[in-house]
Amino acid sequence: MNLLLLFSLGTTLETWKNVGFLDREYRYYTGLMDRGVSKVGFVTYGDDDKRYEESIEPIKVYAKRGVRHVLIYSLIAVFVHWRAFRESHIIKSNQSNGAWVGLIARIFFPGKKFVTRCGWVRNTEMMSRHERLAGIRLSTVKFVERLCYRFSNAVIVTTEADRKFIVEAYGIPAGKVTVIPNTVDTDLFFPDKYRVRRFYDPVRFLYIGRLAEMKNVHNLITAIGRFEGNACLTIVGGGDDADEFKRLANEQSCSIEFIDNIDNSDLPEIYRRHDVFVMPQLYASGMSKVMIEAMSCGLPTISSNLEAHREVITDGVNGYLCEFDAKSIAACAKRVIETNPDMLAEITERARNDVVEHYSMQSNIGREYELYRSLLGA
């Protein structure tokens, strides 16, 4: 079985490297090869992405060539890499944005199995608020999304909420949509059982993710600034709103450190150096990878009260839920710190066990591989 992965529109291997995704995705796709996939190829949008091929062997890289314009290239990628598409058995999109490349491939290779994968579903709120789509552009994107879902052999989403949305909004048969959650390499992301926070140490809060309005970082900064006690906050990531958040951080009385994107394999040590992880996101679909990574590392985890977050966290059982405003985030942070240590240990242990059972890389690789086998009638 040969698998061809279509990168999201405009995404390059350099992008994955810069944001720290490359080693994580490499582990996942070589894991599929260990499971039984014979060959994996990445169809990317980087002109010089071929230079990464040696570092990610045995994965093959099919880089952009022929035209500079990203959208035009997406429409002719099948012809540029005709042999790779012809020899594939499964053509999978990494996100729905750009999945039409697989749709085009099905026209010329109707026997191939096309899988639209959505790490997060582009619902109307995400399209209008985050992508700034409106009018005819919004209608066009929705139409293309419907076509991709309609003519896929299978659709992969990360949450039941996203599955429900696609079924109801686009009229896709429920049996076509499979939930395979985001994944964590639990052998890499594990707790530091020997770390103990001394009572006079500051409480070390941590956020990892894009610095964008939808992530609600401004309310997190304000909340930690209001925290009653000795506290500090580390923010890992980059984004268009970084300068605005840094200005806001300078107005707070506590220490707030900003760190650029780092490789996924370096994140476990970051998690293990902190006391509480916070994911205060305002709106989103999909499942937060960093949230389940934090839980896997035994970190008490606070998340905003989104439907996708509630699929992972039950308040007071394996984590904590807060509302979106700074006051609620601060109150939840105080609640975590004031939790009885034995009870807090039970909560974090339960969180770790939940991740191992439901979100481990090996279990998800197994689910995806079995989906491909069923599509191919194996």
Q: Which domains does the chain have, with CATH numbers?
A: 2-183+360-375 (3.40.50.2000), 203-358 (3.40.50.2000)
What confidence category does residue 196 fall into, taking pLDDT thresholds of 50, 70 and 90? low
- The CA R_g of the chain, rounded to the nearest whole Å, is 21
Contact assessment for residue 63 and residue 42, using Cβ atoms and an 8 Å cutoff: no
Predicted confidence band of residue 199 (pLDDT cuts 50, 70, 90): low
Pick the closest to residue 266 from 29, 57, 23 (CA basis): 23
**22-33 pLDDT, tens per residue?**
999 999 999 999
pLDDT band at 315 (very low <50, low <70, confident <90, very high): very high
Q: Residue 38 burial by CB count (10 A; 0-12/13-18/19+): exposed, middle or buried?
A: exposed
How many Å apart are CA 299 and CA 195, to the nearest integer?
11
What would the pLDDT profile of 147-158 be if each residue is shown by its tens digit?
999 999 999 999
On whether the CB atoms of residues 181 and 159 are closer than 8 A, the answer is yes
In tens, the pLDDT along 206-237 reads: 999 989 888 999 999 999 988 877 889 999 99
Answer whether residue 122 shows pLDDT above 90: no
Selection from 6, 84, 3 nearest residue 375 by Cα: 3
Grade residue 195 by pLDDT with cuts at 50, 70 and 90: low
Residue 132, Cβ density class (10 Å: 0-12 exposed, 13-18 middle, ≥19 buried): exposed
User: Among the listed ranges 129-143, 206-220, 261-275, 356-370, which one has the minimum average pLDDT value?
Assistant: 129-143
Q: What is the mean pLDDT of residues 317-328?
A: 95
What does the pLDDT look like over 56-85, one tens digit per residue? 999 999 999 989 899 999 999 999 999 999
DSSP codes, 169-205? HH---GGGEEE----B-TTTS---TT----TTSPEEE
Name the band, by pLDDT with cuts 50, 70 and 90, for residue 197: low
Report how far residue 63's alpha carbon sits from residue 225's, in angstroms, rounded to the nearest whole number: 46
Interval 288-304: pLDDT, tens? 899 999 999 999 999 99
pLDDT of residue 346: 95
- Determine phi and psi for 232, rounding to 5 degrees: -140, 160
Nearest alpha carbon to residue 11 among 119, 135, 103, 86: 119
Q: How far apart are CA 35 and CA 154, in angstroms?
A: 20
Mean pLDDT, rounded, of the chain: 91
C-alpha span between 303 and 90 (Å, rounded) = 35
At what angle are helices 135-151 and 160-170 packed, to 10 degrees? 100
CA quadruple 233, 336, 183, 70: dihedral, nearest 10: -40
In the block, which residue shows the tokens 């007071």?
A: 316
pLDDT at 123 over 90: no
Amino acid at 170: Y
CA-nearest of 139, 203, 243 to 336 is: 203
The band of 200, judged by pLDDT with boundaries at 50, 70 and 90, is low
